[in-house]
Amino acid sequence: MRQTASELQTVEELLADYRSEGGKPLEAAKLQMVGVHGKDVYNIAGPIKDDGEWVIPGRVEERDSEMSEIHFFVQRGEVWEPRPGAPVFALQDPFFTRIGDELVVGGVQTFPHPERAGHLGWRTVMMKGATIAQLKPFFQGPDFMKDLRIVELDGGRIGVFTRPQGAKGGRGQIGYTEVGSLAELSIEAVDEAPVFDQFIIEEWGGANEIHRLANGKLGVLGHIASFDESGNRHYYPMVFAVEPGTGINTPMEIIAERQDFQPGPTKRPDLVDVVFSGGLKRRGDGTAELYAGTSDAEAQVLRIPDPFLKYEK
């Protein structure tokens, strides 16, 4: 059943549960992303198998800028380099899934804010193709919505995770709906998706990657975030499960925090305690690799106990 407001847990409560009862990380490592003229690479997605090799999409930008590009990196020895000939997209925060025989890759597109001079707006855009080289745009989400994600369900149906803000979503709630096919994905369907009651009014979150679990449920890798009294941001990777059809969801659980990763630089002082959960690669041995951006400045991978196993029991 969906949670009621009285059952909601705050970031502090979820973090206390994680520290006292949660699975502990096993190993953290920085990914050496090179070849982009000294720019930062962070907020990576998990690895994509494309044309026989593993490829990691990453957000690339200057330390003092929000003007980003998505580059695709391949491993060469101890480092990850931009893949020769791969497309580059003027987007932030890459993600991917597979729908039928096609790869779907998306990210956040920024644009001049229509009402606030000198500020940016944002929207989620998606591209599809048989391979990375063949990606073409096919869907643009509502203005001012990040963290829009899709997943293929049985019979060709599509599960759609949304993140409205404002009157419907406050600082950011997670919504869920289903459409009959990829062709039926629309801004109207996204806007009308009901939201889960998961976050207190001062906090927010979003879905980052959706996994089809062995029992048909959907495992959601996402994030929960808050401000402290000084205006610093705190982002934590979290998971929960959703039952397709009914939309019934489990409570969230934090699965990692910034101190689990290697120490490193930060984009700004208010972003020190930020982990952006980009993707999860399940290893099949009871563990998983969490691919993440840390402090809006670096890309890291953290091996953890597989957080989705309990939802498959």
pLDDT-flagged residues of the chain (< 70): 1-6, 22-23
| 87, 72 contact by CB (below 8 A) | yes
Residue 13 has a pLDDT of 97
Token code pair at residue 9: 């847990």
d(CA 118, CA 69): 20
Write out pLDDT tens, residues 76-127.
Answer: 999 999 999 999 999 999 999 999 999 999 999 999 888 888 888 999 999 9
Token code pair at residue 304: 């953890």
Q: Domain holding 21: CATH number?
A: 2.115.10.20
SS3 content of the chain, % helix, strand, coil (to 5): 10, 45, 40
Residue 125 has a pLDDT of 98
Range of the domain at 67: 5-312
How do beta strands 233-243 and 273-282 pair? parallel
| 112, 106 contact by CB (below 8 A) | no
How do beta strands 79-82 and 298-305 pair? unpaired
Number of domains in the chain: 1
**R_g (Cα) of the chain, nearest Å:** 18
Residue 197 has a pLDDT of 92
**DSSP secondary-structure letter at 38?**
T
d(CA 237, CA 140): 26
| 162, 148 contact by CB (below 8 A) | yes
pTM of the model: 0.95
